[in-house]
């Protein structure tokens, strides 16, 4: 079995377990249910002629797609390991570029057949699309399913379609050296385990990481020196950067993407699992002649568990601390916080810290999204009640001890000033 076949086999085997629900069953009906997100709406506009995408000889529809979706070019990050749909187009000399904003992720391979797009969807969690890169009279966006779900609905996200950010050791062709181990990456990952198979520009001080590391076959991990790949400002020695929209694979953009990808996953997971749990309970109540609104202890625990998982991550529990200040190389550090919203004191949940932690006010900015608001009411109510109790010091659970009194007060004041649909009890003195 060749390495390519082995990689696909491993990914497929991860997607096979039964997770206690079927995303194609009721009430989700993932493949047939209509999507309603920024990409599906653009797709309809393209079909009707209300919008159009210009084709560029070098980048295809990329620039115009990013513009239509309000995705900044400064969000560019580059991955050179063969770990995606068009793996045959990826390698250290031709990295795959990823761009993102709060709602969508866009991937481009040099001379790729398609652009790869994933969008956060209030009901379906995450929906995947491709944009044909061939020049035609009208750009075409196509919703995808099985080819993406082999990886993106695997055990890594408990069977719910979502995002996978991995750190792997790669060889000179970009093949993942799976025998050396891999890491699932999010905000809790120490920097020394992040960005294997990715290019990274930026300063991390004395903190090393796996970025920019290309190995000549399997090695003993203990003998690998990560210092040469850390604190790089340019990537010219690896590939021709003019083949990308920018010459950066920004350290700060990578960390923000890692935070929000897993936050999107947890929201999608809670939405899907609890929709199924409530639907199943309704069926059981009918079978047992219970009142239609009967709520079992099992379902209550499921709601609380799903909500607490969202809440802990949203408040950056177990975030890997920074031991040195970090800095990026692109405009992302200034452009990302500029999107607000801000309170009367000029504070925003998008403000960056970059000295001891990623954000100045550790509460996820994705609390403003339609996907968060579309959480099943039972989950959203649990999250908001407990969040309010934490921020007002009524809930002093040890898992939130990383939040100082000033952190809690600042987050509370920012949300009171900027999140318009807060429960009424939040505004009572």
If you compute the radius of gyration of the chain from its CA atoms, what whole number of angstroms results?
Answer: 22
Where is average pLDDT lowest: 279-288, 353-362, 384-393?
A: 279-288
Q: What is the mean pLDDT of residues 222-228?
A: 93
pLDDT, position 383? 98
Most confident of 13-17, 108-112, 389-393: 389-393
Q: Are the CB atoms for 337 and 348 separated by under 8 Å?
A: yes
At 375, is the pLDDT very low, low, confident or very high (cuts 50, 70, 90)? very high
- Residue boundaries of the structural domains of the chain: 3-251, 266-427
The span from the CA of 375 to the CA of 123, in Å, is 8
> What's the confidence (pLDDT) of residue 239?
96
pLDDT at position 250 is: 98
> What's the chain's average pLDDT?
91
Helix H or strand E encompassing 184:
strand 182-184
Q: Which of 413, 385, 390, 253 has the alpha carbon at shortest distance from 332?
A: 253
Q: Which pLDDT score, from 0 to 100, does residue 83 have?
A: 83
Task: Write down the pLDDT at residue 209.
Answer: 98
For 156-174, b/e burial (b = at least 16 CB within 10 A) is: bbbbbbbbbbbbbbbbeeb
Mean predicted confidence (pLDDT) in 308-324: 98
Instruction: State the pLDDT at residue 22.
Output: 81
Q: Taking a C-beta distance cutoff of 8 angstroms, is the pair 426, 416 a contact? A: yes
* pLDDT range class, residue 380, cuts 50, 70, 90: very high
**pLDDT beyond 90 at 118:** yes
> Residue 84 has what pLDDT?
77
pTM surpassing 0.75? yes
pLDDT digits (tens, 9 = 90+) for 92-115: 999 999 999 999 999 999 999 999
Give 338's contacts (C-beta < 8 A, 6+ positions apart).
none
Mean pLDDT, range 238-265, rounded to an integer? 97
Mean pLDDT along residues 138-162: 71
Start-to-end CA span in the chain (Å): 66
- Closest Cα to residue 85, out of 23, 168, 149, 179? 149
Mean pLDDT, rounded, for 338-361 = 97
pLDDT tops 60 at residue 17: no
The dihedral region occupied by 23, where left means phi > 0, alpha psi between -120 and 50, and beta the remainder, is: alpha
pLDDT at 400 over 60: yes
Residue 217 pLDDT = 87
**What is the predicted pLDDT for the residue at 243?**
93
Q: What is the pLDDT of residues 38-94, one digit of tens each?
A: 999 999 999 999 999 999 999 999 999 999 999 999 999 999 999 877 888 999 999
pLDDT single digits (tens) 257-311: 999 999 999 999 999 999 999 999 999 999 999 998 899 999 999 999 999 999 9
Question: 149 vs 128, 234, 273, CA distance in Å?
Answer: 9, 34, 17
How does residue 371 score in pLDDT terms, banded at 50, 70 and 90? very high
Q: Which tens digits make up the pLDDT trace of 158-198?
A: 678 889 899 999 999 999 998 998 999 999 999 999 999 99
pLDDT at 155: 54
Q: What is the pLDDT of residue 429?
A: 72
pLDDT grade for 140, boundaries at 50, 70 and 90: very high
CA atoms within 13 A on the CB side of 151: 18
Binned at pLDDT 50, 70 and 90, residue 150 comes out as: low
Confidence of residue 146 (pLDDT cuts 50, 70, 90): low
The structure tokens listed for 370 are 């339609």
């Amino acid at each position: 079995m060749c390495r390519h076949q082995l990689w696909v086999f491993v990914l497929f085997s991860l997607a096979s377990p039964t997770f206690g629900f079927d995303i194609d069953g009721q009430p989700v009906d993932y493949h047939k249910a209509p999507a309603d997100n920024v990409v599906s709406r653009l797709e309809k506009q393209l079909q009707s002629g209300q919008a159009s995408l210009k084709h560029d000889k070098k980048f295809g529809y990329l620039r115009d797609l990013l513009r239509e979706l309000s995705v900044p070019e400064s969000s560019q990050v580059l991955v050179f390991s063969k770990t995606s749909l068009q793996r045959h187009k990826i390698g250290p000399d031709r990295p795959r570029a990823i761009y993102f904003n709060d709602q969508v992720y866009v991937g481009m391979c040099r001379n790729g057949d398609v652009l790869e797009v994933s969008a956060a969807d209030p009901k379906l969690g995450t929906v995947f699309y491709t944009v044909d890169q061939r020049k035609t009279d009208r750009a075409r966006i196509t919703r995808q399913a099985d080819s993406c779900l082999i990886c993106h609905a695997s055990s890594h996200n408990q069977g719910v379609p979502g995002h996978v950010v991995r750190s792997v050791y790669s060889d000179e062709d970009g093949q993942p050296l799976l025998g050396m181990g891999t890491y699932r990456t999010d905000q809790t990952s120490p920097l020394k385990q992040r960005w294997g198979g990715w290019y990274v520009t930026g300063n991390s001080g004395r903190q090393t990481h796996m970025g920019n590391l290309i190995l000549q076959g399997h090695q003993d991990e203990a003998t690998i020196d990560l210092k040469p790949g850390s604190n790089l400002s340019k990537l010219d020695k690896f590939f021709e950067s003019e083949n990308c929209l920018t010459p950066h694979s920004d350290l700060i953009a990578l960390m923000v993407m890692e935070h929000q990808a897993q936050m999107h996953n947890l929201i999608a997971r809670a939405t899907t699992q609890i929709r199924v749990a409530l639907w199943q309970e309704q069926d059981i109540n009918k079978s047992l002649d219970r009142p239609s609104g009967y709520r079992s202890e099992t379902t209550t625990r499921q709601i609380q568990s799903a909500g607490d998982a969202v809440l802990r991550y949203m408040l950056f529990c177990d975030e890997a601390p920074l031991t040195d200040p970090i800095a990026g190389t692109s405009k992302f550090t200034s452009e990302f916080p500029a999107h607000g919203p801000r309170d009367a004191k000029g504070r925003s949940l998008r403000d960056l810290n970059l000295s001891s932690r990623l954000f100045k006010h550790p509460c996820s900015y994705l609390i403003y999204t339609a996907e968060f608001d579309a959480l099943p009411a039972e989950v959203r109510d649990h999250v908001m009640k407990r969040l309010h109790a934490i921020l007002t010091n009524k809930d002093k659970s040890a898992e939130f001890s990383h939040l100082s009194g000033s952190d809690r007060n600042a987050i509370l004041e920012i949300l009171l000033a900027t999140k318009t649909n807060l429960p009424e009890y939040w505004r009572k003195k």
